[in-house]
């Protein structure tokens, strides 16, 4: 197998036959040794973090598969902390798509003049560029089209899939009385027909989940939910 990419929390390999293998690491993002899922740097290493992220990811990708929602998922090996996926081409140099149910985090920082903390949002979708140097700036549909990152037709599919998948995760968490405030996804194009599918992971580090009004840390989420 061929190593092709070292990410902050995962390493990516190409398998014989063309699939990719994602190796989940125990490194988590944060600043100065303090865990922060939104940070753009590796802050610390927590034993078991990789496996915990993969367990949640496997769970949600299998639910999505049952519902016929297209993803890159092939299978997962919890022991080895690896996931086999279909290779995808990302949009431009990579996008993050956020679905928001309550006003917190960067939404509140940007729109605090008009929004109150915790205010309900109706599966509000926004896109940011994966650009660590520029702190992942938000980008509009028009700008994405104009800059050749994705077409308007692709944007429609992306937005629809984001709401659909966000709602699946929200409903799953609600079964355990956990409320989803926001969640971040990545998408890519796969196969000859360039079908848009969900890629990467769905773990505690990609969402804000609350129970009884209190934020649940990613590693606690895995224990509480699974
Ligand atoms: N099916 C797939 N095909 C191609 N690339 C994928 C696929 N699934 C995930 N990836 C990419 O693999 C990488 C996973 O590594 P990781 O999550 O550690 O990266 P990251 O720290 O989030 O960000 P960066 O990409 O800036 O390193 C990401 O760049 C992600 O976009
Ligand atoms: Mg990542």
Whether 29 shows a pLDDT value over 90: the answer reads no
SS3 label, residue 22: strand
Q: How far is it, in rounded angstroms, from Cα 20 to Cα 84?
A: 6
Establish whether residue 130 lines the binding site of ligand 1, counting it when its CB lies within 6 angstroms of any ligand atom.
Answer: yes
What per-residue confidence (pLDDT) applies to 31? 86
Residue 41: what pLDDT?
87
This prediction's pTM: 0.96
Q: How confident is the model at residue 125 (pLDDT cuts 50, 70, 90)?
A: very high
Per-residue model confidence as pLDDT tens digits over 77-105: 999 999 999 999 999 999 999 999 999 99
3-class secondary structure, 100: strand
Atom of ligand 1 nearest to the CA of 40: 21
Atom number in ligand 1 closest to CA 130: 26
Q: Is the CB of 43 under 6 A from ligand 1?
A: no
Instruction: Please report the atom of ligand 1 found closest to the CA of residue 9.
Output: 18
Q: What is the dihedral of CA 114, 105, 40, 10, to 10 degrees?
A: -130
DSSP SS3 for 83 = strand
Q: Could you tell me if residue 21 is left (phi over 0), alpha (psi between -120 and 50 degrees) or otherwise beta?
A: beta
Instruction: Give the chain's count of helices (H) and strands (E).
Output: 5, 16
| 3, 5, 135: residue to mutate for ligand 1 pocket, most atoms within 8 A of CB | 5
Domains recognised in the chain with CATH numbers: 2-85 (3.30.200.20), 89-225 (3.30.470.20)
Q: Which ligand sits closest to the CA of 42? A: 1
Residue 37: per-residue pLDDT: 73
Distance (Å) from CA 147 to ligand 2 centroid: 23
Q: Would you state the pLDDT for residue 144?
A: 98
Task: Check if 92 has its Cβ closer than 6 Å to any atom of ligand 1.
Answer: no
């Amino acid at each position: 197998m061929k190593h092709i990419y070292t990410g902050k929390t995962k390493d990516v390999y190409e398998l014989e036959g063309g699939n990719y293998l994602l190796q989940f690491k125990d490194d988590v993002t944060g600043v100065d040794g303090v865990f922060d899922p939104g940070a753009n740097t590796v802050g610390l290493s927590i034993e078991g973090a990789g496996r915990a992220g993969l367990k949640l990811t496997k769970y949600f990708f299998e639910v999505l598969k049952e519902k016929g929602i297209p993803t890159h998922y092939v299978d997962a090996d919890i022991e080895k902390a690896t996931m086999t996926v279909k290779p995808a081409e990302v949009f431009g140099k990579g996008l993050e798509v956020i679905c928001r149910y309550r006003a917190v985090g960067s939404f509140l920082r940007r729109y605090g003049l008009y929004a109150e903390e915790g205010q309900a949002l109706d599966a509000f979708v926004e896109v940011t560029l994966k650009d660590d140097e520029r702190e992942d700036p938000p980008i509009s549909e028009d700008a994405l089209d104009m800059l050749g990152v994705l077409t308007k037709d692709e944007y429609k599919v992306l937005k629809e899939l984001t709401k659909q998948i966000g709602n699946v995760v929200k409903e799953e968490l609600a079964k355990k009385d956990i409320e989803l405030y926001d969640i971040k996804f990545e998408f890519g194009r796969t196969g000859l027909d360039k079908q848009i599918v969900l890629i990467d992971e769905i773990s505690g580090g990609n969402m804000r989940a609350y129970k009884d009004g209190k934020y649940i840390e990613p590693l606690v989420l895995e224990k509480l939910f699974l």
